[in-house]
Amino acid sequence: IEQLLGALGELHRQSIVHRDVKLENILMSHDGVIKLGDLGLVKLCDAQKITRTGVLLGTAQYMPPEYIRYNRYEPAGDVYAVGIALYEMLTGKRRLAGLTGVEAIQQLFKTDFEIPREPLRGVPEKYLRILDVALSSNPKKRYKNADEMLRAFKGLLDSNGSPELQSSPG
């Protein structure tokens, strides 16, 4: 996840969103280096819309709520997709497996984008807090970009995105 967030962070620092982060686009080389593939849907954050209103590009199972609802996509949307990928890695199960894109979107609306917690039983609390922030249905409560989520993984931020207080010796 750290390598994935590092690659995605580079895009975000260039004001680019990936828009199709999913397990199939997370590649591992023979020497264990993680690469983020399929840059076919990347977009400059401030670029004019080139797709028609109502056209969603990407994989429905990983789309953030604000993209499905309002056709808005920012770096926090990529963070949401990383959260879904992490959720799937931790649970060993695909979220919305077997559903077509339209069926997945219908299911997401039906469940109000809720992420089941039951499959995460036994996952350390630190990771659950990171997942809670990454998978918030409200993008303002999510990590703003990949770098912020990476800092949380490295323990530099608390789960609310604020610097953790370091206790001083003595």
Q: Which helix (H) or strand (E) holds 44?
A: strand 43-44
Residue 60 amino acid letter? A
Coil, helix or strand at residue 43: strand
Single out the catalytic residue among 20, 38, 46, 132: 20
Q: How far apart are CA 143 and CA 100, in angstroms?
A: 28
Q: Are 61 and 94 in contact (CB under 8 A)?
A: yes
- 20 in active site: yes
Just list the catalytic residues: 20
